[in-house]
Amino acid sequence: MSNSKKQYWKGLEQLSNDPGFVEYANKEFPEYLPINENKEGAESAPSSRRDFLKMMGFSVAAASLAACEAPVRKAIPYLNKPEEIDPGIPNYYASTYAQGGDYCSIVIKTREGRPIKVEGNKLSKVTYGGVSAQVEASVLSLYDQERLRGPYAAGAATDWATLDQEVISKLSASQNIRIVSNTVMSPTTYKVGAEFMAKFPNAKPVTYDAQSAHGILQANQLSFGKATIPAYDFSKAEVIVSLAADFLGTWIAPTVYAHQYAKRRKLGGGKKSMSRHYQFESNLSLTGSNADYRTPVKPSQQGLIAAALYNKVAAKAGAASMNVSSIDVPFLDKAANSLWEARGKSLVVSGSNDTNVQVAVNAINDLLGNYGSTVDLDRPVNFRKGNDADMSEFIEEVSSGRVDAVIFYNCNPIYDHPQGVLLQAELEKVGLKISTSGRMDETATLCDYVAPDHHYLESWNDAEPQQGQYSLCQPGITPLFDTRQAQSSALVWCGASETDYFNFLQNNWRTSFFPNSGAPDFETFWHQSLFDGVVEMNTPSKELGEAPEIAADSTDIAPAAVMAGGFSADLSAVARALGAGYNAESAETELVIYQKVGLGTGEQANNPWLQELPDPISKAVWDNYLTVSQKFARENGLKIEEDRTSRVNLTVGGQTVNVPVMIQPGQAHGTVGLALGYGRAKAGRVANNIGVNAFPLVTVTGGIPHYEATSGVSIEVTKEKHRIARTQTHETYMGRETIIQEALLSEYQENEHAGEFAPKIATWKGPEEKVAPHKISLWKHHQDEYVNHHWGMAIDLNSCTGCAACTIACQVENNIPVVGKDEILTRREMHWIRIDRYYSSVGVNNYSELEVASENPEVTFQPMMCQHCNNAPCETVCPVAATTHSTEGLNQMAYNRCIGTRYCANNCPFKVRRFNWFKYHDNTQFAENTSMSNTLGRMVLNPDVTVRSRGVMEKCTMCVQRIQAGKLVAKKEKRRPTDGDIDTACATACPTQAITFGDLNDTDSQISKLLKIEHHDDHKTVQEPRAYTVLQELNVDPNVFYLRKIRNKEVDNA
C-alpha cells in the first residue's frame, strides 16, 4: 500500500530474502512435484516403461472386472424408529461444553443420532453464540479410538460390579480421601460431592487448574474479601490495558471476551468510535497482535509496570503513590493518560499469577472507578476456582504418606500440574488411586482403578458459568462404550439412594432451581431449560455462590478490614513485594510459558484437528518451539531457512529440555517463549511425543505456579536441526499490497474512505488514460444472471481477532482431512479457510528499513478462502469444465469431473484451491487423520458432503450444502428464505461476528445493509466506504468483501 508507506510481509524469510523462500515464491506451485513416497531416497529409480505397461494392463483388467458386478449394498432401517429421528434430517440439542474451567454454551447437531458438529448457542448471555477452535474440535474427541471402552482395575479391563465392590471396600477402609479435580462449574456435581463427603467425612476436595488464576482469586480475596473472578465487560471499555493477559486467545474465557471486545471495536452504521487497546507483553500473543499499541516488555518488569501505571493514575487522582523504583517503557504514559480520560469506562487486566500484581491492577481499576461498570464483582464468573495452595498441600501430604485414597475427577495433574513429576514419583505412597479419566492418560496409568467417565457429548450435567446464569448439558448420543458418568460412580460408591445422575440432576433442579424460576410447573421449566440450554435466574446457586476462603499464604500482605464492596488492601506491602520481586533492567534471559490457541493446556492433545491448526501467530503446526527475538537469533547465529531450524537446550532451574527455535517478530528481547500442551506421553497415538512438555518448567513459588522464569534460564545452541512445519509463507502474494487495507481511526472519522486503494489500469490510449479495472473486461459479467439468489460474504477485518475457530468449523463441516506434519512440510495443507497473518512495519520503504521495525510489527489477520469471483480465472482454464459458475454467484467445484490438471490452482490469484495429493481416507499412512482413517472416527463426517478422493481439486464451496438445505426448508414452507436461515460454518462459529454471509439480492439481509448494496438494472454496487475486494486491479470481481481495518492510533505514532 504505497499511500500509507507500509510494507506487508508474511514472514522473516520474505523480509530477509531467504533463498529458500525466493525459490518457492517464484514457483507457481510450492509443492514438490514427484509424489513418489520415498522422495527423499536417492535410489528411487523412476518407473520403467515395462512397469508402466504392466500397471496399465493390470489396471484395465482390474477395472473391467470391478465393473462387471456392482457390489450388493445393504439398507438397514431402524427396528423401532425413534419418533424424533428422521434419517436425513439433523436434530439439534442445546448443551454445554465445560472442560476444566473452559465454558461454552453449545448446540449439538446430530444426524441419525450421532453428533457431527458443535455450534454456539445464541441464546446464551455468557458466550453469545461464539465458540472457540477447541470447542469446535471437541466433537472429534468423542470418536477418539483411544477412549477407554470400559472400567480398568490394575491396568486390566474389569467390569463395573467388581470395580464398585472393590472401590467401596477400599474407600471405607481409607482414612484420608482426597478428590482432585479441575474447576467444577456444576452445582449438581457439587451436591454429589457433598453426598460423597457426608458418607466419607475424611474426604476433602482439592481443585487446581492447568492454567492457574490463583493470583486473581487471592488478589480479590485481599482487595474485596471475595476470592472470585469478576465478570469483565470489554464491550463497555473505551480503553483497555492488558499486562500480558491474552484475553482474546487463552486467558480465562477468550470466547466471551472476544465477543465483547469486538462489539466495541466494530464501526459503521453511524458508529465511528472504538476502544483503544494497549498491550504490554513478552510473547506476541493473539491479543497483542490485535492491540493498537503494543510494548514488548520482560516478565521481570511486569510488577514495576503495574506499579508505575498505578502511580501515574494515582497522581491524576490525587491518591497516594506506591514506593517502587520507576520504570519507563514506551506508551506507558500514554496508556495512563488514556485510562484517566476514560475513567469509569476503562479496564486494566493482567495475566500474571502474582497476587501482588493483581492487587495493583485491582487498585488501578478502583482508582479509575471501573468497578460496577467494566468489572462486575457482584456477578462473578466461575471459570477458574483452582486453589493452588490446596494442591501444593495435597502434593506434600502425598509425599509424606498422609493420603490413603485419591480420586482424580477428570483431571491429569501428572501431566498438567507443574509439580506433576514430583507427584508421579510419590503417588505410589497412596493406597488407593482412582481416576475417572476417559482415556489412559499420564495420571490414569498410575491409578489402581480407572472408572471412565462419559465424553461430555454423552453426559448429563449442568453448569453455572457466572452467578445466576445456568446451563444444562444433555447428551447428543447414547454412550458409545461401557463408560459411566463420574457423578454416578461417586453416587454408587457413597451408597446413595439415587445413583442415576440424570435423576439426581433433575431432582436437584426441581428442588433447588425450579422454585426460583417462576415457571408454572416443573415439566415446563425443565423442558424449556433443556430446549434453550441456558436459564437466567437472579439467584446464585448455594454450591458456587459462596466463594471459598483462600488463605493468603504466599504473600505478606495483611488483609485489611473488608469494607462493604469497597477496595481495601495494604498497598505499601504490595509496593514492597513488587519492588523486591521485579527489576526494571534485568540482563537475564527470561522464559515465558504460554498457551497456543489450538491446544491450550493439552487436554484435547489427541485431537488431530487441533494439532494441525496453524497457530495464529507463528502459523506452525504439530510442534511447540522456543520463540526467540530476532536480535537473540542474530546474536546466537540462529537462522530459520524455510522450515529448517536449530534445536537448543533450554535449561530452567536445573531442568533441561531440547527444543527447536522459532524466530518470532514481536518477541521482547531477552525473553523466550514455550507453549504448554505438548510433550504428551500418554495422550494417544496422535499426540504422543510431539513437542516437549513445558509444565515442569513452570516455576512454583510458595505453592503458586508462575508461568514466567525470570532467572536461571540458559540456552545452549546445539548442532541438531529440526523442521517446523508452517503454513506461514506458503503461496505468498509477492508484495502485492492491494490485499490489506487499513486506516487510522482519526482518518476514518474524517473520511470514511480513508485508506482506500483504488488501482487504475493503463489502456491502449497511453499511460495517462488510466481507468478503473472494472471498466474493461474480457468477460461478460455474470451479475445479471443472478435472478434468484446472489450469495456473498463480508469479512470485517476490524472484528477478526484471528482466533481460528472458523478454520476448525470449516474442517468439521466440510470433511477436510488432516494430512500430518510431513505433508505440511511439503506444503500440502488442506484447510479451505486459512487466516493470513500479515506483519507490517510503519513508515519504511525498503526491506532493510523494515528489518528494524520488525522487532515489534503491527499485525493484521485476514481470513482467506475462495473469493467466488464473478470473473473467476480458475473457471476459464479448466479443460474439463469441472469448475463452473452458478446462477447464484457461487464458484462451483465438481469433484467427480475434475481430472487434476491443477490449472485452476495455478490461475487462482488467491491460492485457495487445495489439491488432494493422496487418498487421505481409509489410509493407514494417514493414521493421524482419525476422522477418516477408522470406522469410529468416520462417524463425525458430515453425510451431506462428499469425502474427496485422490487427484481432485477442492476449495471453499460457501457451504453449498447448507445453502441447498436452507432453500429446501423455505420451499417446503412455501416462502422465501429469510436472512439467517442460511449461514456458513465459518460465519456461525465466529465469536466476534466478523464474518457475515447472506443473499445480496435480499434487500433486508444483514449483508445487504452492511455493505450498503445498491441495486441497478443489471448489477449491484457496494456503497459501504470501508468495503473493498482484494486484488481489485485484476477485476476478478469477488463475492467476498473485506471491511478495512481501522487502528485506534494517533497519527504521529502511525
Partner 1 sequence: MAYYICGSLKDLSASMIKSKNFMFATQRSAYLSIITFVFSFFILTSAWAQSDTTDVESTDQPTTEAATSQGGISSDPAVITAGEALFQGNCRACHAVNQKLVGPALAGIYDRQDMDWIKAFVKNSQAMIASGDEYSVALYEEYNNTMMTSFNFSDEEIESIIAYVKFEAENAAAAAETPEGVPEDGTTTTATGPSKYLTAVIVGLVVVLLLILIVLFLILGFLTKFLKERKDDLDEADREMIDQKFDFGKLTRNPAFIGIVAFIFGIFVVKAVLDGLYQVGIQQGYAPKQPIAFSHKLHAGQYEIDCNYCHTGVRKSKSANIPSANICMNCHGQIKTESPEIQKIYAAIEENTPIEWVRVHNLPDLAYFNHAQHVAVGNQECESCHGEIKEMEVVEQFAPLTMGWCINCHKETNINTKGNAYYDNLVELHSQHSKEPLKVEDLGGLECAKCHY
Positions touching partner 1 (CB under 8 A) are 67, 70, 72-81, 86-89, 787-788, 882, 884, 886-888, 890, 892-897, 944-947, 957, 960-961, 964, 967-968, 970-972, 974-977
**Quick one: DSSP state of residue 46?**
P
Residues 922/932, Cβ–Cβ less than 8 Å: yes
The residue among 228 and 883 lying less far from partner 1, judged by its C-beta, is: 883
The residue among 533 and 792 lying less far from partner 1, judged by its C-beta, is: 792
Minimum separation from the CB atom of position 981 to partner 1 (A): 12
Minimum separation from the CB atom of position 828 to partner 1 (A): 22
The residue among 206 and 882 lying less far from partner 1, judged by its C-beta, is: 882
Minimum separation from the CB atom of position 877 to partner 1 (A): 16
Minimum separation from the CB atom of position 974 to partner 1 (A): 5
The residue among 272 and 897 lying less far from partner 1, judged by its C-beta, is: 897
The residue among 765 and 974 lying less far from partner 1, judged by its C-beta, is: 974
Q: How far is CA 946 from CA 73, 631, 941, 954, in A?
A: 18, 48, 9, 11
Minimum separation from the CB atom of position 959 to partner 1 (A): 9
Q: Which residues contact 335 (CB under 8 A, 6 or more apart)?
A: 239, 241, 278, 293, 309
| d(C-alpha 602, C-alpha 606), whole Å | 8
Q: Which residues contact 918 (CB under 8 A, 6 or more apart)?
A: 35, 819, 823, 925, 926, 950
Minimum separation from the CB atom of position 109 to partner 1 (A): 15
Query: Does an H or E element contain 874, and which?
Result: helix 873-877
Q: Which residues contact 695 (CB under 8 A, 6 or more apart)?
A: 210, 415, 416, 417, 418, 420, 676
The residue among 73 and 1016 lying less far from partner 1, judged by its C-beta, is: 73
Residue with cell 488492601: 569
- Residue in 399, 452, 393 with CA at minimum distance from that of residue 430: 399
Phi first, then psi, for residue 418 (nearest 5°) are -55, -30
Is the torsion defined by CA of 858, 614, 907, 28 positive or negative? positive
Residues 657/649, Cβ–Cβ less than 8 Å: yes
Minimum separation from the CB atom of position 897 to partner 1 (A): 7
The residue among 229 and 987 lying less far from partner 1, judged by its C-beta, is: 987
Residue with cell 476502544: 275
Minimum separation from the CB atom of position 512 to partner 1 (A): 34
Residue with cell 527475538: 629
Phi first, then psi, for residue 862 (nearest 5°) are -140, 105
Minimum separation from the CB atom of position 458 to partner 1 (A): 21
The residue among 718 and 1003 lying less far from partner 1, judged by its C-beta, is: 1003
Minimum separation from the CB atom of position 434 to partner 1 (A): 34
Residue 945 burial by Cβ neighbours in a 10 Å radius (0-12, 13-18, 19+): middle
C-alpha cell at 1018: 443489471
The residue among 172 and 887 lying less far from partner 1, judged by its C-beta, is: 887
Query: Does an H or E element contain 424, and which?
Result: helix 420-426
3-state secondary structure 319-355: CCCCCCCCCCCCCHHHHHHHHHHCCCCEEEEECCCCH
The residue among 103 and 786 lying less far from partner 1, judged by its C-beta, is: 786
Minimum separation from the CB atom of position 584 to partner 1 (A): 60
| d(C-alpha 201, C-alpha 783), whole Å | 74
C-alpha cell at 628: 526467540
The residue among 259 and 868 lying less far from partner 1, judged by its C-beta, is: 868
CA dihedral 374→380→386→388, nearest 10 degrees, is 60
- Dihedral-angle region of residue 495 (phi above 0 means left; psi in -120 to 50 means alpha; beta otherwise): left
CB contact burial 597-627 (16+ within 10 A = b; e otherwise): bbbbbbbbbbbbbbbbbbbbbbbbbbbbbbb
In terms of DSSP H, where are the helices of 510-614?
514-517, 522-532, 542-545, 571-581, 608-611
Minimum separation from the CB atom of position 896 to partner 1 (A): 4
Q: Which residues contact 248 (CB under 8 A, 6 or more apart)?
A: 254, 257, 258, 261, 286, 287, 290, 801, 803
Q: Within 10 A of 591 (CB to CB), how many other CB atoms are there? A: 28
Amino acid at 18: D
For every residue of 1011-1050, DSSP letters joined together read HTEEE-SS-EEE--TTEE-TTGGGT---SEEEEPEEE---
Minimum separation from the CB atom of position 942 to partner 1 (A): 11
Minimum separation from the CB atom of position 622 to partner 1 (A): 29
Residues 977/965, Cβ–Cβ less than 8 Å: no
The residue among 321 and 884 lying less far from partner 1, judged by its C-beta, is: 884
Phi first, then psi, for residue 496 (nearest 5°) are -70, 155
The residue among 693 and 988 lying less far from partner 1, judged by its C-beta, is: 988
Minimum separation from the CB atom of position 64 to partner 1 (A): 9
Minimum separation from the CB atom of position 71 to partner 1 (A): 9
The residue among 821 and 967 lying less far from partner 1, judged by its C-beta, is: 967
| d(C-alpha 250, C-alpha 210), whole Å | 12
Amino acid at 308: A
Minimum separation from the CB atom of position 893 to partner 1 (A): 8
The residue among 253 and 947 lying less far from partner 1, judged by its C-beta, is: 947
| d(C-alpha 813, C-alpha 604), whole Å | 19
The residue among 75 and 587 lying less far from partner 1, judged by its C-beta, is: 75
Minimum separation from the CB atom of position 880 to partner 1 (A): 11
The residue among 610 and 809 lying less far from partner 1, judged by its C-beta, is: 809
The residue among 222 and 809 lying less far from partner 1, judged by its C-beta, is: 809
Count of residues making up the chain: 1054
| d(C-alpha 349, C-alpha 302), whole Å | 12
